[in-house]
Amino acid sequence: MPVYVDREAPKLWRRIYSETTLEASLLAEKWKLVLAGLVFQYIHGLAAHGVHYLHRPGPTLQDAGFFILPALGQDKAFVSETVFVTIFGSFILWTFHPFVSHSKKICTVLIWCRVFVYLAASQSLRIITFFATQLPGPNYHCREGSKLAKIPPPKNVLEVLLINFPDGVIYGCGDLIFSSHTIFTLVFVRTYQRYGIRRWIKHLAWLMAVIQSLLIIASRKHYTVDIVVAWYTVNLVMFYVDSKLPEMAERSSGPSQTPLLPLSTKDGNKSKEDHQRLLNKTNVADEL
Residue-level pLDDT at 9: 60
The single residue of 102, 226, 242, 274 carrying the catalytic annotation is 226
Q: What are phi and psi of 245, to 5 degrees?
A: -90, 145
Residue-level pLDDT at 1: 47
pLDDT per residue over 24-70, tens digit each? 998 999 999 999 999 999 999 999 988 988 888 989 999 999 999 99
Q: Is 222 a catalytic residue?
A: yes
Global pTM value: 0.81
Residue-level pLDDT at 152: 83
Sites in the chain below the pLDDT cut of 50: 1, 3-5, 253-268, 271, 284-288
Q: What letter represents residue 202's amino acid?
A: K
Residue-level pLDDT at 126: 96
Q: Is 267 a catalytic residue?
A: no
List all residues 6 or more positions away from 281 whose beta carbon is below 8 Å from its beta carbon: 18, 21, 22
Residue-level pLDDT at 197: 87
- Residues 245, 258 contacting (CB under 8 angstroms): no
Neighbour-count burial for 147-184, b at 16+ CB within 10 Å, e otherwise: ebbbbeeeeeeeebeebbeeebeebbbbbbbbbbbbbb
The single residue of 52, 55, 181, 275 carrying the catalytic annotation is 181
Q: How far apart are CA 41 and CA 103, in angstroms?
A: 30
Q: How far apart are CA 30 and CA 26, in angstroms?
A: 6
How far from chain centre, in Å, is Cα 248?
A: 19
C-beta neighbour count of 14 within 10 angstroms: 15
Q: Is 181 a catalytic residue?
A: yes
